[in-house]
C-alpha cells in the first residue's frame, strides 16, 4: 500500500469511528469512549485533512462547524409539501375517540368492523426541518416555512451531532428526505440561559425559541455552540428506497440508518392511544425535553394515502394536546431570597395560576440584570413558564397591561436575612450577602464548608448531622460547634452515644490546625486553598491579614483586585471579626508566623499534570509546598516547572509552547533531594 493510500485508509477509518461514536453518544445515549479519546481521534482527522486537502469530503465530521457566515437564507422549495396537522384541544380521552371516529367514518367502517391500528408518538416542542440525503450524504436541510417553501439552514443543521452526515448503510437510496424536530433538552436549555445570564446577555424565553433561534443563526459557529438535539418522525421525497408499509416501520428503518428516533411511542387501537396519552401526561414532567402533546397517526401508509388531506391537513393524523406550560398572571410582590451560598435571588409572588400541571404562586426573576432587562414591576401582567422540574420563571411582561404608577424594582443594598452588606462584584450579575459566618440562610453551607477535610477536617460532621443541628437550633454560629456536649448530640436522630463521642473527639482535634486551613474554612469568597496558603505565607499572622488594606492584599502573589476587595470586605465587617475572635477563644490554634518555607523551591511556582507513578496529587503538592514552592492550577509564563505524569493533558502542550521546564516524578524528587520510594 502506498503512503497516500495508507493516509486515505486512515482518514476513512477515523471518519467511520467518529461517526459510530457520535451515533452511540447522541442517538443511543450510550457513550463508547471517553471525551479525551474522542477529541484525540477528531484532532488526528483534522490534521490529516489539513495535510491532504484532496481527501476532505462534505460528509466528514470536521465539516460540521466549518461553514462561513451567511448573508441570508436561500429559499428551498419542498418537493413534498411539509404540512401541519390538526390540533385536538380536548385533553380528555374524548379527544382520542373523536379522532378515531372521524377516521372510521372516512374509511367507511361500521361499528362491527375491525379497529384501526394507530401509531402514537410525542409532539416535540421545537423546530421542524427537512433533511435531504442523496446517495446517503446529507446535502440540504430546510425549515418548514409556509409548507411549500422553507429556508436553507444546511450549515447550521450540520453542527447538530445527533444528525448523521452520512447514513449508516452500504446501499443508500439515491434520495431520502427525512423530517423531524430540532429541539433543546431542558437541562441544556437551563445551562444555555444560565451562561447568558452570567454574561449579562439576553436569555431565551423557552426551549422552542432557543432551538428556532439557533437554527436561524447566520453564523454556523454560533449554532455549533448551542447543544441542539434532533428526532426524526417522517419522510419527504424518496427515490429508490423500499418504503415500509407502516409509519412505525418507517421509524424503525430510520433508526437503522443512524437517525435518532424517540423511543416513547406505541402502536395499537384507540384504547391504546388513550392509555399512551395518560401515561405520557403522568410522566411529562420527568421527560428530558418539552412536549405539548402527543401525535396519533394511522399506522398503515396505504390507509394514509386513502384518507388523504383536507384544507392542507392530513385526515390520518392529529395532535392531542396537554395543558399549556406558559400562562398569564400578575405580579403581587417581589421579594428577595438568600441562597445557601449567599446569592440573592429576586422572586415574584404571583396571583395563583395553573401552569404545567400545577398551581404556581411564585417564580424566579434570577437577578437584578434580568429584572432590568425584562422590566418586571409589581402589578405587571407577566408570562409565567413551568416545564418539568424547572423552577417556574417569569419569561416576559405584557407592557400594555401595566397599571399606572408601577415603579421599577431595585435590589436591596443589605441582606434581607442578616443585614450584612450585599455585594455585586464588577463583571458579575448576582448580588451576594457578605455575612457568610452569621447569615442564617447560609448557616448549613458555612458549617459544611468549615468542617470539610481540606478545611478544619471534622470527621463525622456531614450533611445530615448539620441539618439536624441547625434545624434544632443547637448550632447557630461556627463557635457553637466547640460548645457542643455529649447529651445534646446524643439526642439527635440516629445519633448513638458512641457516634456522639466520636464526633466530639473530632471537633476537639480540629482545634489544632494551620493558618491556611483556618482561612480556607472561613469561606471567604474567592479564597480557595491555594490563596489561603499564599495569604498565610505573605502575612504570617491572622491579625496582620485582618488589618491589611486592599493595597497590601494586592502585594500577595496571585491576588488580584476582585479577591483583594472580597477579603478586605470580609474582615472589615465587625460581625465577621467577632466570629473569628470567638473561634480563637474556643481554643483553635496554629503556629503563628507561617512564613514561606525555605527550600529548593522557595518562591517557585509548580504545575502538576497527569498521573504520577507513586505520588498522589495531594502528596506531590504537600512535598512541593514543604520545600517552599507554590502549586498552581494552570500554566503561565510565570510557571517555573511543570511536573508531568501519564495521560498529561493540555497543560503539557501549554508548557511546551511557553518553553517551561518539564520534570517527571523522579526529576521532582531529585530536585527536592528526596528519595524515590
pLDDT at 677: 39
Mark whether 292 and 438 lie in a shared domain: no
Mark whether 343 and 279 lie in a shared domain: no
Farthest-apart Cα atoms in the chain, separation: 96
- If you search the block for the grid coordinates 436541510, which residue do you land on? 141
Report if residue 615 sits inside a domain.
yes
Helices marked H in 203-269: 207-215, 220-224, 247-256
Mark whether 344 and 359 lie in a shared domain: yes
pLDDT band at 632, cuts 50/70/90? confident
Q: Please list the residues that pair with 18 across neighbouring strands.
A: none
Question: What is the number of other CB atoms lying within 10 angstroms of the CB of residue 394?
Answer: 26
pLDDT at 674: 53
pLDDT for 675 beyond 50: no
Report if residue 429 sits inside a domain.
no
pLDDT at 490: 82
> Does the active-site annotation cover 488?
no
Report if residue 517 sits inside a domain.
yes
CATH assignment at residue 256:
3.30.470.30
Report if residue 62 sits inside a domain.
no
Mark whether 317 and 330 lie in a shared domain: no
Report if residue 409 sits inside a domain.
no
Least confident among 55-64, 96-105, 465-474: 55-64
Region 408-425: mean pLDDT is 90
Distance CA 256, CA 267 (A): 19
Question: What is the sign of the dihedral through the CA atoms of 653, 655, 658 and 659?
Answer: negative
CATH assignment at residue 17:
1.10.287.610
Mark whether 456 and 497 lie in a shared domain: yes
pLDDT for 82 beyond 80: yes
Mark whether 529 and 641 lie in a shared domain: no
Whole-angstrom CA distances from 594 to 606, 609, 629 are 20, 28, 14
CATH assignment at residue 657:
3.40.50.10190
Query: Based on the structure, what is the number of domains in the chain?
Result: 5
pLDDT digits (tens, 9 = 90+) for 359-397: 889 998 988 888 888 899 999 999 898 765 567 888 889
In whole numbers, what is the pLDDT of the chain averaged over residues? 87
For residue 544, report the phi and psi dihedrals to the nearest 5 degrees: -65, -40
Whole-angstrom CA distances from 627 to 519, 596, 620, 668 are 21, 9, 11, 11
CATH assignment at residue 508:
1.10.150.20
Mark whether 316 and 344 lie in a shared domain: no
Q: Say what the pTM is.
A: 0.54
pLDDT at 355: 81
Whole-angstrom CA distances from 269 to 20, 104, 117, 489 are 37, 12, 5, 62
Distance CA 163, CA 157 (A): 8
Mark whether 353 and 302 lie in a shared domain: no
Q: Are 344 and 118 in contact (CB under 8 A)?
A: no
Region 297-306: mean pLDDT is 96
For residue 662, report the phi and psi dihedrals to the nearest 5 degrees: -110, 140
Report if residue 599 sits inside a domain.
no
Distance CA 156, CA 48 (A): 24
Q: State which of 275, 295, 321 marks the end of a domain.
A: 321
User: Residue 422, CB half-sphere, CA atoms under 13 Å: how many?
Assistant: 22
Distance CA 372, CA 59 (A): 45
- Given the residues 123, 321, 374, 651, select the one marked as catalytic: 123
With 0-12 / 13-18 / 19 or more C-beta atoms within 10 angstroms meaning exposed / middle / buried, residue 326 is middle
Give 61's DSSP letter: G
Judged by DSSP in three states, 100 sits in: helix
Mark whether 506 and 543 lie in a shared domain: yes
In this structure, the strands spanning 127-134 and 137-143 are antiparallel
pLDDT at 357: 66
pLDDT digits (tens, 9 = 90+) for 582-591: 999 999 998 7
Q: State which of 561, 594, 627 marks the end of a domain.
A: 594
Report if residue 537 sits inside a domain.
yes
Q: Are 267 and 117 in contact (CB under 8 A)?
A: yes
Q: Are 265 and 159 in contact (CB under 8 A)?
A: no
Cell of 324: 399549556
Mark whether 462 and 552 lie in a shared domain: yes
Mark whether 207 and 168 lie in a shared domain: yes
Which residues have a Cβ under 8 Å from the Cβ of 533 and sit 6 or more positions away? 516, 625, 630
pLDDT band at 249, cuts 50/70/90? very high
Report if residue 259 sits inside a domain.
yes
pLDDT at 676: 39
CATH assignment at residue 356:
2.40.50.140
Mark whether 219 and 273 lie in a shared domain: yes
Q: Look up the domain containing 46 and give its range.
A: 3-56
Q: Are 233 and 179 in contact (CB under 8 A)?
A: yes
Amino acid at each position: 500500500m502506498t503512503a497516500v493510500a495508507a493516509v486515505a485508509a486512515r482518514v476513512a477509518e477515523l471518519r467511520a469511528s467518529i461517526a459510530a461514536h457520535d451515533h452511540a453518544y447522541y442517538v443511543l445515549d450510550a457513550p463508547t469512549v471517553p471525551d479525551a479519546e474522542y477529541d484525540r481521534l477528531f484532532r488526528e482527522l483534522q490534521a490529516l485533512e489539513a495535510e491532504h486537502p484532496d481527501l476532505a469530503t462534505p460528509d466528514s465530521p470536521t465539516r460540521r462547524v466549518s461553514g462561513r457566515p451567511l448573508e441570508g437564507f436561500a429559499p428551498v422549495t419542498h418537493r413534498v409539501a411539509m404540512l401541519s396537522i390538526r390540533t385536538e384541544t380536548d385533553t380528555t380521552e374524548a379527544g382520542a375517540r373523536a379522532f378515531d371516529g372521524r377516521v372510521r367514518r372516512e374509511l367507511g367502517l361500521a361499528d362491527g368492523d375491525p379497529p384501526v391500528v394507530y401509531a402514537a408518538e410525542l409532539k416535540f416542542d421545537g423546530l421542524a426541518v427537512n433533511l435531504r440525503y442523496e446517495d446517503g450524504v446529507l446535502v440540504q436541510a430546510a425549515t418548514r416555512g409556509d409548507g411549500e417553501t422553507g429556508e436553507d439552514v444546511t450549515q447550521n443543521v450540520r453542527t447538530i451531532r445527533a444528525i448523521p452526515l452520512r447514513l449508516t448503510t452500504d446501499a443508500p437510496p439515491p434520495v431520502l428526505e427525512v423530517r423531524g424536530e430540532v429541539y433543546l433538552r431542558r437541562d441544556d436549555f437551563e445551562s444555555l440561559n444560565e451562561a447568558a445570564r452570567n454574561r449579562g446577555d439576553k436569555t431565551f424565553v423557552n426551549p422552542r425559541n432557543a432551538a428556532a433561534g439557533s437554527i436561524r443563526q447566520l453564523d454556523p459557529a454560533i449554532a455549533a455552540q448551542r447543544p441542539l438535539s434532533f428526532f426524526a418522525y417522517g419522510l419527504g421525497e424518496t427515490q429508490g428506497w423500499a418504503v415500509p408499509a407502516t409509519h412505525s416501520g418507517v421509524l424503525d428503518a430510520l433508526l437503522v440508518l443512524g437517525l435518532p428516533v424517540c423511543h416513547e411511542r406505541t402502536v395499537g387501537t384507540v384504547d391504546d392511544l388513550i392509555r399512551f396519552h395518560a401515561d405520557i401526561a403522568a410522566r411529562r414532567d420527568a421527560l428530558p425535553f418539552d412536549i405539548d402533546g402527543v401525535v396519533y397517526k394511522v399506522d398503515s401508509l396505504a390507509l394514509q394515502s386513502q384518507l388523504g388531506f383536507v384544507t392542507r391537513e392530513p385526515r390520518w393524523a392529529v395532535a392531542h394536546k396537554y395543558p399549556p406550560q406558559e400562562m398569564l398572571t400578575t405580579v403581587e410582590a417581589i421579594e428577595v431570597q438568600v441562597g445557601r451560598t449567599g446569592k440573592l435571588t429576586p422572586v415574584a409572588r404571583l396571583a395563583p395560576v395553573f401552569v404545567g400541571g400545577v398551581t404556581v404562586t411564585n417564580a424566579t426573576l434570577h437577578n437584578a440584570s434580568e429584572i432590568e432587562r425584562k422590566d418586571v414591576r409589581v402589578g405587571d401582567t407577566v408570562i409565567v413558564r413551568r416545564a418539568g422540574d424547572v423552577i417556574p420563571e417569569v419569561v416576559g411582561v405584557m407592557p400594555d397591561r401595566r397599571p399606572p404608577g408601577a415603579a421599577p424594582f431595585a435590589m436591596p443594598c443589605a441582606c434581607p436575612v442578616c443585614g450584612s452588606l450585599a455585594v455585586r462584584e464588577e463583571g458579575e450579575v448576582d448580588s451576594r450577602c457578605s455575612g457568610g459566618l452569621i447569615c442564617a440562610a447560609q448557616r448549613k453551607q458555612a458549617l459544611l464548608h468549615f468542617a470539610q477535610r481540606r478545611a478544619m477536617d471534622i470527621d463525622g460532621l456531614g450533611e445530615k448531622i448539620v441539618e439536624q443541628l441547625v434545624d434544632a437550633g443547637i448550632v447557630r454560629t461556627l463557635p457553637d460547634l466547640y460548645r457542643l456536649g455529649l447529651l445534646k448530640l446524643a439526642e439527635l436522630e440516629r445519633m448513638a452515644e458512641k457516634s456522639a463521642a466520636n464526633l466530639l473527639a473530632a471537633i476537639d482535634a480540629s482545634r489544632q490546625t494551620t493558618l491556611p486551613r483556618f482561612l480556607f474554612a472561613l469561606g471567604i469568597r474567592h479564597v480557595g486553598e491555594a490563596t489561603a496558603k499564599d495569604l498565610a505565607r505573605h502575612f504570617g499572622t491572622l491579625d496582620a491579614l485582618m488589618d491589611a488594606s486592599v493595597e497590601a492584599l494586592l502585594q500577595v502573589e496571585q491576588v488580584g483586585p476582585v479577591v483583594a476587595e472580597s477579603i478586605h470586605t470580609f474582615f472589615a465587617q465587625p460581625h465577621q471579626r467577632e466570629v473569628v475572635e470567638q473561634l480563637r477563644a474556643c481554643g483553635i490554634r496554629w503556629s503563628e508566623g507561617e512564613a514561606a518555607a525555605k527550600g529548593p523551591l522557595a518562591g517557585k511556582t509548580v504545575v502538576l499534570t497527569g498521573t504520577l507513578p507513586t505520588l498522589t496529587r495531594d502528596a506531590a503538592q504537600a512535598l512541593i509546598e514543604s520545600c517552599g514552592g507554590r502549586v498552581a492550577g494552570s500554566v503561565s509564563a510565570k510557571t517555573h516547572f511543570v511536573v508531568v505524569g501519564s495521560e498529561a493533558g493540555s497543560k503539557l502542550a501549554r508548557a511546551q509552547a511557553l518553553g517551561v521546564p518539564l520534570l517527571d516524578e523522579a526529576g521532582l524528587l531529585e530536585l527536592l533531594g528526596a528519595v524515590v520510594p
